Amino acid sequence: MEPTPNLPVRADIVQLRDGTHIYTDQLPTAFQQQGPPPVVHIHEAPPDRTGQRIALGTGIGAGTVAAGVYFGPLLVGVLTSMAISLAVVALVAVATAWGLVTVVRTVAQDGDQVAKNLRKARRR
């Protein structure tokens, strides 16, 4: 009996790395081919995760993303606190300037009145 000529390999038979052939429906789960990985576009990401997806897509790493997740809201809180503090300082400065101007005007008007009274007293 002669060996059969080289027949084309059936599509549902694959050759493993060790050289053995196996049917595709009997493959271990580690070797089973799956569909292409799901692609999530940046514009489809929720707004709070877009920055993280860009960071991971550029290969920065999960540590940087975690730091962004942690320090992002912290930075917003710090900047808000600084803005409120500066607003209070500005309000105090405006109130002080207004009070100082009012006092100077009052003293200047009183000084003018005192000078007028002295001139009148000298004439008599």
The answer to whether the CB of 26 falls within 8 A of the CB of 36 is no
Question: For 21-43, what is each residue's pLDDT tens digit?
Answer: 777 776 666 655 566 666 667 66
Q: Which pLDDT score, from 0 to 100, does residue 52 have? A: 64
Question: For 36-94, what is each residue's pLDDT tens digit?
Answer: 666 667 666 566 666 666 666 666 667 777 777 788 888 889 999 999 999 999 999 99
Sheet strands (E) in the chain? 13-15, 21-23
The answer to whether the CB of 25 falls within 8 A of the CB of 19 is no
Q: Which pLDDT score, from 0 to 100, does residue 79 have? A: 92
Q: Which pLDDT score, from 0 to 100, does residue 4 have? A: 61
Q: Which pLDDT score, from 0 to 100, does residue 73 have? A: 85
Question: Average pLDDT, stretch 4-23?
Answer: 70
Q: Could you give the C-alpha distances from 42 to 46, 55, 71, 105, in angstroms and in order?
A: 9, 11, 22, 63
Residues 6+ apart with CB under 8 A from 53: 40, 42, 45
- Interhelix angle 50-57/62-123, nearest 10 degrees: 130
The answer to whether the CB of 56 falls within 8 A of the CB of 62 is yes
Among 69, 38, 42, smallest CA distance to 54 is for 42
Question: For 101-111, what is each residue's pLDDT tens digit?
Answer: 998 888 887 77
